[in-house]
Amino acid sequence: MNKHDAQIRINELVEELNFHSRKYYVEDSPEISDYEYDMKMRELKSLEAEYPELILAHSPTQRVGDVPLSEFTAVHHEVPLKSLQDVFSYSELEDFDRRVKKVQSDPEYVVELKIDGLSVAVEYKNGILVRGATRGNGIDGEDVTLNIKTIQSLPLKLAENVDITVRGEVFMPVSSFNKLNRQRQNDGESVFANPRNAAAGSLRQLDSSVTAKRNLDIFIFNIQKFDNGTFKTHSESLDYLKSLGFKVSPFYNKFHDIEKVFSEIERFDKIRNELGFDIDGAVVKVNDLSLREELGETVKFPRWAVAYKYPPEQKSTKLLDILINVGRTGVLTPNAVLEPITLSGTTVSRATLHNQNFIHQMDIRIKDTVIVQKAGEIIPEVVRVVPEKRSGNEIIFEMPLNCPVCGTAVITDQSGVAVRCPNRLCEAQIFRKIVHFVSKEAMDIEGLGPSIVQQLIDESLLKDVSDLYSLNAQKLMNLEGFAQVSANNIVEAIKKSKNAGLDRLIYALGIRNIGQKAAKLLAARFKNIDALMSASAEEIISIEDFGDISANSVVNYFSDENNLELINKLKEYDVCMQYNQKIDDLRFEGKIFVLSGGLDTMTRAQATQLIESFGGKTSSSVSAKTSYLLLGDKPGSKLEKATKLGVKIIDEQQFIEMIK
């Protein structure tokens, strides 16, 4: 085939394949078999390999980039991607309706699903996809074009050759999420907490080939910029987006009566488990675009829309058994074994029961019917018992007198709440301690997941965390499932962890009552492990935010001969025990931040790290010493206290401006 004929055939194949992709991924009405589609794709790839200069920008072969990125570049949103004000009750929706009616007496509302995903902006020039960017802080995001192109339902070329920027919500279907977590579990990797977290992690992969395997999807719900637009209503704009080839919300019905808006919200709630993707509410928008102009916007939110958030989904199920988990400090934690249920998009078969007091207070018995929900839409918890469903066969639970793993007689803490196995050689404790030591927040030894740690313990290669540093590639290659490359990677990760620094090491040691923040404060105060080991409780209490319990925990830890022996072993392996943090920019020196609610562009841990990198401190509670309350989504009681004390309240955008 000559070049001219190849050009014609490539054009034909690209148009055909994009058409059939839309039929399959957007309209759910395929017209050809998977085999026929694959044969056409194979032909296209063959022609493009022979004539690479003829590859079209909107060819389906261009959905995955060849070369991984080293970093994401910043993108400034010409039209800000604002968030919506959340409401949690119908009375709040009625307040919204009243405010709108002050401007127009009979407004029309569009009600759409509130997809639980990540907001993005996608830009097209002359009908061709040229850029995709994350929402970021609403003003500036990150360029994720290569990753956004891997989403099969997002057209690379529109039905019209227009310049348009649209906004959508990227999400991971529940089926893809379950498949991904099963795969990660089999590979010994940590599983994602929910589809939203999985989608976020997938969209921010530097290698688009990884993103492509995650089967992300997208709903487009707004036109951000379109010079040719002459729409009178939002619903008209959605119809137009649909005609361009976009996958839009499956529901965008119109209502004048706020009571009918309530009914639609309730309808969404009833069908949410049948959708195949997660929603966490419904979005109510004024339909008339001219009325939107009149209503205007605040600094943070538009006044013409609100997001109704559903309360945590609750379901009843049978509590089949109560099993005991032994943690790294020896604490025995009871866990409910549940008859599996689907809750907030995932299968739930376990829930923590905290401790014996919790079980007694709630009168939880084995074989009870219980109500379960996900705390923060992530962690399953038992909310209450349904006593009227008891048959008389229920079994009252008592904590065991001996450790279920090693058989040692358990002891009860002075608090009378925590039951503990005192045997430091208990295999369960050794396993948990090593898993904690290698975790990302501690020494960050990549590749050593729980299943590999257990394998190393079973093979007697690990008896405590210091044994990690005696591992070499040959020892690992003698184990099932290890090859030269994987063994070398783990050895390199272990070697790299030696320079993690004193603050990470303190946290990694698993000292009772010492978290990441406390570990950093100790490292900053004492600078090296020897000074810390000889510190008195009084010296430690002098550190701000330290009390008797945490100070005594540190002193007790370093008074134990076994722990001192472990430190000496780590020293012999040249593990860094110095604190070498240098802060050049001390703009937050002397400032104390308190964080409340979730943030959009970063985790709370990342925000804390940024504050500390500029010499500031964070605290868990608001007081007269607090300099700033950093307010995120769903703030708690801290806002009220900060207001009373006159503490300066900042939002995420203001915080970002402070650290630029």
DSSP state of 528: B
Amino acid at 369: T
CA distance 455 to 475: 12
Dist. CA 438–CA 498, nearest whole Å: 11
Alpha helices (H) along 447-603: 450-458, 473-477, 484-497, 502-508, 516-526, 529-533, 537-541, 548-558, 561-572
Helix (H) / strand (E) containing 253: strand 252-255
Angle at 653 between CA 650 and CA 655, to 5 degrees: 55
Closest CA to 10 of 66, 64, 59, 57: 59
**286: three-class secondary structure by DSSP:** strand
Selection from 328, 572, 578 nearest residue 467 by Cα: 572
Q: What angle do CA 341, 342, 347 make, to 5 degrees?
A: 85
Maximum Cα–Cα distance for the chain, whole Å? 85
Going by C-beta distance under 8 Å and a sequence separation of 6 or more, which residues neighbour residue 44? Answer: 10, 13, 14, 17, 59, 60, 61
Supply φ then ψ for residue 219, to 5 degrees: -115, 130
> Which H or E element spans position 113?
strand 109-115
Residue 647 CB partners (closer than 8 Å, separation 6+)? 594, 622, 626, 627, 628, 629
Structure tokens at 406: 């090693």
Token match 């925590």: residue?
418
Helix (H, G, I), strand (E, B) or coil at 592: strand
State the distance between the two ends of the chain, measured CA to CA, in whole angstroms.
56
Q: What kind and span of H or E run contains 611?
A: helix 604-613
CB 545 within 8 A of CB 519: no
* Region at 127 (left for phi over 0; alpha for psi -120 to 50; beta for the rest): left
Picking from 2, 526, 490, 450, the residue whose alpha carbon sits closest to that of residue 190 is: 450
Q: What are phi and psi of 365, to 5 degrees?
A: -125, 150
Out of 3, 40, 102, 114, which one is annotated catalytic? 114
Contact 629, 622 (CB under 8 A): yes
Identify the bridge partners of residue 180 per DSSP, sorted by sequence position.
none
Which residue in 304, 253, 250 sits closest to 279, CA to CA? 250
Residue 114 falls in the annotated catalytic set: yes
Catalytic positions: 114
